[in-house]
């Protein structure tokens, strides 16, 4: 699943709507988002990005440049939600960067253990 799709899905969730309902209201074919979700399409057209950004009243670049949690003022995530966000971010990385992420997590863990 693409990161952009996940961001749009999160925005829909936090605005109490569905992707299907949003598409219908905006006149965007649901298949366009299905293609994005499956990874067959990597980006949306600027026209569709503009419609979606306007719908959620966010800057257009927020859909492709910022992590989903920065788009929304939401409650503190649960531990499971933290892991889900970490997994979603990590699965987009190549193997080398995934290993760096694991090493970084270990460094944070060691630093936490050293702090009284």
Q: Between the CA of residue 9 and those of 74, 102, 107, what are the distances in Å?
A: 14, 27, 32
Q: Do 104 and 90 contact (CB within 8 A), yes or no?
A: no
Tens of pLDDT, residue by residue over 88-97, are: 777 778 888 8
Tens of pLDDT, residue by residue over 59-82, are: 887 777 655 444 444 445 567 777
Cα 84 to the chain's mean position, in Å? Answer: 11
Q: Measure the CA–CA gap between 39 and 51, rounded to whole angstroms.
A: 21
pLDDT reading at 55 higher than 50: yes
How confident is residue 116, by pLDDT bands cut at 50, 70 and 90? Answer: low
Among candidates 34, 50, 48, which has minimal Cα distance to 2? Answer: 34
φ, ψ at 68 (rounded to 5°): -55, -40
């Amino acid at each position: 699943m693409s990161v952009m799709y996940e961001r749009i899905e999160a925005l829909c969730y936090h605005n109490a709507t569905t992707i299907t309902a949003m598409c219908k209201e905006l006149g965007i074919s649901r298949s366009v988002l299905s293609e994005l979700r499956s990874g067959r399409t990597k980006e949306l057209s600027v026209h569709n990005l503009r419609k979606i950004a306007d719908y959620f009243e966010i800057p257009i670049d927020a859909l492709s440049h910022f992590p989903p949690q920065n788009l929304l003022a939401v409650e503190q995530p649960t531990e499971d939600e933290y892991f889900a966000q970490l997994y979603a971010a990590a699965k987009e990385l190549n193997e080398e960067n995934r290993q760096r992420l694991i090493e970084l997590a270990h460094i944070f863990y060691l630093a936490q253990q050293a702090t009284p």
